[in-house]
A = this chain, B = another copy of it.
Amino acid sequence: MRILVTGGLGILGAGLVKELRLRGHHVVSCDLPHQPDEIGFSLRTDVKLPLYARCDVGEFRQIERVIEQMGPFDYVYHCAAEFGRWNGEDFYETLWRTNAVGTKNIIRLQERLKFRLIHFSSSEVYGDWPDLMVETVMEEYEIKQMNDYAMTKWVNEMQVRNSATQYATESVVVRIFNTYGPGEYYSPYRSVNCRFLYCALHGLPWTVFRGHSRTSTYLADSVRTLANIVDNFKPGETYNIGGNSLHTIEGLSDIVLKVTGADPALVEYRDSEILTTKAKRVDVSKAIRDLDHKNSYGLEEGMRITTDWMRTVYKINGHGLSQFDGTAVVEGNGELVDEVKPAQRDIAQETLKVG
């Protein structure tokens, strides 16, 4: 199969590119930065087989060129998006351009070229829905999304749906619930799993908001399920991809303390965070039925593997704390403490453990 993965340097995108290639597919990916294996559009490409393109999906010409010059594609996994609630609030221009306009660009090309689309949505579309999140909730109830990120994701689902109605395009929507694992580099805007771990490994305090519950899915489990879609593609379907057991944020924090050995005094407890869904219970039975979705990693097991990966990429030795705290500062002796430097694509094959 010939497959394009947009957002191919993100945590899910990079995992998918690897898994789909292991399964023998021809996989091209695109993302915002330059990369060594990229195609040179107007100049000589040095590498033998460029399988990456620099592309801003928010610019129609750029994504059109990728598909015209590196395609045709049977399937497009559209992972490219500004991710996360606070990231969306802080970078809303980029959010709307990439998510709303970018996805519309993909859909316009799909209408012309008829590739099959797997669109990446988010559990955030369920808003503050208090009960079990089943895919059909929005057929029956009017959900109010609680932040711009969630709104772009819901807008995208409606864009996909309208295109299917008007132009008979064939798409599947996946609603991704909290996913963590090797390949998720720390920033303050990342998942709570990533942030707690990073803080614990660097001796930095973190805050636990009481009264919130989530599921967590280990990356390899999500990626395997997502890769299965091309083998059982059902146009028009929407799937929740998430964990099967709810845990509190306090419980997650406790696991972080356990697997890192960090000082419990680093944890500060606070009351419920505003405008954030309190509990997210998810029904994943449809993904189990159609896509053989499995949660094969327990939370503690997955967090242990992620800890090992994070220790490697942030160069934290042994079980003690790093000399780095993620900032580059001039110390008392005038020596510069080197910055922490994540390698964007450094997902160790052995820690991903797909399959």
Contacts and interface: CB of A to CB of B under 8 A. Distances in A.
A326 B198 contact: no
Interface stretch (A54-62, A106-114, A162-170): A54-62
Interface string A179-213: 00000011111100001001100101111000000
Given A189-B43, A345-B341, A62 B91 contact: yes
Contacts of A94: 56, 59
A296 interface: no
B90 A42 contact: yes
Interface string A42-71: 111111111100101001011000000000
Interface of A: 17-18, 21-22, 24, 32-51, 54, 56, 59, 61-62, 86-87, 89-91, 93-94, 185-190, 195, 198-199, 202, 204-207, 314, 325-330, 334, 336, 338-346, 349
Most interface-central of A45, A341, A346 (chain B CB within 10 A): A341
A346 B342 CA distance: 9
A37 B322 CA distance: 14
A19 B56 CA distance: 32
A354 to B, nearest CB: 10
A338 B329 contact: no
Q: Which DSSP category, helix, strand, loop or mixed, fits chain A's interface?
A: loop
A240 to B, nearest CB: 26
A-B residue pairs, 9 tightest by C-beta:
A40-B188, A34-B187, A47-B326, A341-B343, A341-B345, A36-B326, A343-B343, A37-B327, A41-B90
A51 B86 contact: no
29 contacts: A17-B328, A18-B336, A21-B328, A21-B330, A21-B336, A35-B187, A36-B339, A39-B188, A41-B90, A42-B90, A43-B86, A45-B188, A46-B188, A46-B198, A46-B199, A46-B205, A47-B202, A47-B325, A51-B327, A51-B328, A338-B349, A339-B345, A340-B345, A341-B343, A341-B344, A341-B345, A341-B346, A342-B344, A343-B344
Contacts of A344: 341-344
B37 A326 contact: yes
Most interface-central of A49, A62, A202, A342 (chain B CB within 10 A): A342
A46 B195 contact: yes
A36 B48 CA distance: 33
A67 to B, nearest CB: 15
A184 to B, nearest CB: 11
A204 B46 contact: yes
Contacts of A185: 34, 36
